[in-house]
């Protein structure tokens, strides 16, 4: 049952959020510490393949013999079953936070040997273990494979996508619950998806503005600690209020990402360029700053002031095309100018590197 205090907080939240000009909720920027997925892994056998199973994988043969022995079928030592319809596989899955015994999760099955395709196969009962070697789920079911593999006697072969990997929707039953520690202690901690001092400070301030000073405090650039009720149902209602609080997210650091393999260039909106001139082959880029005196209104009683005007010119040798832009020192104008003269992405990357070396590029240049 929701207490009166929590109800009052929820009403206050709705009234406050209707007047808020922020555009990011806490639930979109951070997650509660300890509330996360847990990875599970297992080893098993896929049977029922149409001659596309493991043929030269000794561990697959050993696993098949071991399974048959458990069912009372004794295979003489040294006898190879030469089964082409069985494949040894690794199974992995993500166990969501708060998953309860009896619920189902999806699993991914990947071939370990030289199986050509898992299409049409069925995974036999396989325990899935966590990092603590405890069994948290049991997987079994028919595989859904998006790829295919076909070959002929003359050596021709056609492969579409990856036929050696498949999925089983709702293919595992949860057997054990993971203790998240959600109901322990008198505080909860929000961890930001992207560490930022400004965002952490704004989050703590937004919570304190709604719930009272001292309710939240920023521990560092990534974590914000909030005093919370100890009773589980009250804590759930309390977090429901918190995660819907809106706040202004801090701007990220100025950064340019260059993918050297594909030629993709991603430029952040906070990137700035200082006055500079760059020549690249037949391409000339000039960035100049001029100071102008701005006079106040005749009867306004103000004073004259200096104003910075920035001119960006791009010239391509040969056709002498030139573009002039109004004042502004953002990199957007530079990119637009380079695109107008038909420069390739490699030209843009070379210009950015030159600007960085000259100290005119106010951003981190990352090449991946």
Q: Measuring CA to CA, which residue among 134, 143, 37 is closest to residue 91?
A: 143
pLDDT digit string, tens, across residues 83-93: 788 899 999 99
pLDDT for residue 120: 87
The token pair that represents 142 in the structure block: 């028919």
pLDDT for residue 40: 95
Determine the average pLDDT of the residues in 124-129.
94
pLDDT digit string, tens, across residues 13-33: 444 444 444 478 888 888 888
Bridge-based pairing of strands 216-218 and 361-362 is unpaired
Interatomic CA distance for residues 30 and 244, integer angstroms? 11
pLDDT digit string, tens, across residues 296-341: 666 656 666 666 666 666 665 555 444 443 444 566 666 666 666 5
Interatomic CA distance for residues 45 and 54, integer angstroms? 10
Report the percentage of the chain scoring pLDDT > 90.
21
The answer on pLDDT for 352 being more than 80 is no
Q: How many CB atoms lie within 10 A of CB 230?
A: 10
Average pLDDT along the chain: 77
Which residues are CB-contacts of 255 (< 8 A; sequence separation ≥ 6)? 268, 271, 363, 364, 366
The answer on pLDDT for 176 being more than 70 is yes
- In degrees and rounded to multiples of 5, residue 36 shows phi and psi of -155, 170
Taking the alpha carbons of 358, 361, 364, 365 in that order, is the dihedral positive or negative?
Answer: negative
- In degrees and rounded to multiples of 5, residue 126 shows phi and psi of -135, 125
pLDDT for residue 277: 64
Q: For tokens 């957007």, what's the residue?
A: 332
pLDDT for residue 160: 60
Q: Are 272 and 332 in contact (CB under 8 A)?
A: no
Interatomic CA distance for residues 98 and 111, integer angstroms? 30
The token pair that represents 16 in the structure block: 């406050």
Greater confidence (230 vs 266) lies with 230
Bridge-based pairing of strands 255-258 and 364-367 is parallel
Q: Are 57 and 113 in contact (CB under 8 A)?
A: yes
The answer on pLDDT for 7 being more than 50 is no
Determine the average pLDDT of the residues in 235-246.
88
What is the signed CA dihedral for 136, 179, 92, 195, rounded to 10 degrees? 180
pLDDT digit string, tens, across residues 282-295: 666 666 666 676 66
Min mean pLDDT across 94-103, 236-245, 323-332 is at: 323-332
Min mean pLDDT across 9-23, 41-55, 261-275, 340-354 is at: 9-23
Q: Measuring CA to CA, which residue among 320, 347, 326, 327 is closest to residue 335?
A: 347
Report the percentage of the chain scoring pLDDT > 70.
69
The token pair that represents 264 in the structure block: 């993709």
Min mean pLDDT across 5-19, 50-64, 296-310 is at: 5-19
Q: Are 78 and 118 in contact (CB under 8 A)?
A: no
The token pair that represents 285 in the structure block: 């880029």
Interatomic CA distance for residues 20 and 16, integer angstroms? 6
pTM (two decimals): 0.65
Domains of the chain: which residue ranges?
A: 4-36+181-247, 38-174, 255-367
pLDDT for residue 328: 44
Bridge-based pairing of strands 305-316 and 321-324 is antiparallel
pLDDT band at 175 (very low <50, low <70, confident <90, very high): very high
Interatomic CA distance for residues 319 and 342, integer angstroms? 12
Interatomic CA distance for residues 163 and 116, integer angstroms? 7
Q: How many CB atoms lie within 10 A of CB 197?
A: 12
Min mean pLDDT across 93-97, 210-214, 251-255, 346-350 is at: 346-350
Q: Per CATH, the architecture of 4-36+181-247 is what?
A: Alpha-Beta Complex (3.90)
Q: For tokens 């037949």, what's the residue?
A: 282
DSSP 251-282: PPPPEEEE-TTT--EEE-TT-EE-SEEEEETT
Determine the average pLDDT of the residues in 193-199.
89
pLDDT band at 361 (very low <50, low <70, confident <90, very high): confident
pLDDT for residue 280: 59
- In degrees and rounded to multiples of 5, residue 121 shows phi and psi of -85, 165
pLDDT for residue 250: 81
Distances (CA, A) of 128 to 66, 158, 327: 19, 33, 62
Q: Are 172 and 139 in contact (CB under 8 A)?
A: yes
């Amino acid at each position: 049952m929701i207490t009166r205090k929590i109800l009052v907080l929820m009403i206050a939240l709705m009234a406050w959020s209707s007047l808020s000009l922020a555009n990011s909720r806490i639930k979109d920027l951070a997650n509660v510490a300890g509330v996360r997925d847990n990875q599970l892994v297992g080893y098993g056998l896929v049977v029922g393949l149409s001659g596309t199973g493991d043929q030269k994988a000794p561990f697959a043969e050993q696993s098949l013999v071991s399974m048959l022995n458990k069912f009372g079928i004794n295979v003489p030592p040294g006898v190879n079953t030469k089964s082409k319809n069985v494949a040894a596989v690794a199974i992995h899955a993500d166990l969501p936070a708060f998953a309860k015994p009896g619920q189902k999760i999806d699993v991914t099955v990947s071939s370990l040997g030289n199986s050509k395709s898992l299409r049409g196969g069925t995974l036999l009962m396989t325990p899935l273990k966590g990092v603590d070697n405890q069994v948290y789920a049991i997987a079994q079911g028919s595989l859904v494979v998006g790829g295919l593999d076909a070959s002929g006697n003359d050596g021709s072969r056609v492969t579409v996508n990856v036929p050696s990997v498949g999925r089983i929707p709702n293919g595992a039953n949860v057997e054990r619950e993971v203790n998240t520690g959600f109901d322990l202690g008198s505080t909860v901690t929000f961890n930001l998806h992207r560490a930022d001092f400004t965002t952490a400070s704004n989050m703590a301030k937004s919570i304190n503005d709604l719930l009272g000073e001292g309710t939240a405090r920023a521990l560092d650039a990534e974590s914000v600690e909030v005093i919370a009720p100890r009773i589980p149902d009250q804590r759930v209602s309390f977090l429901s209020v918190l995660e819907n609080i809106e706040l202004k997210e801090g701007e990220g650091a100025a950064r340019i990402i260059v993918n050297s393999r594909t030629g993709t260039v991603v430029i952040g909106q906070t990137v700035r360029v200082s006055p500079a001139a760059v020549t690249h082959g037949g391409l000339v880029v000039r960035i100049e700053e001029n100071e102008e005196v701005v006079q106040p209104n005749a009867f306004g009683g103000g004073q004259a002031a200096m104003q910075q005007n920035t001119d960006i010119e791009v010239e391509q040798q040969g056709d002498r095309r030139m573009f002039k832009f109004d004042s502004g020192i953002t990199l957007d104008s530079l990119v637009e100018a380079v695109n107008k003269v038909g420069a390739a992405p490699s030209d843009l990357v070379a210009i950015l590197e030159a600007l960085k070396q000259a100290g005119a590029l106010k951003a981190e240049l990352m090449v991946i």
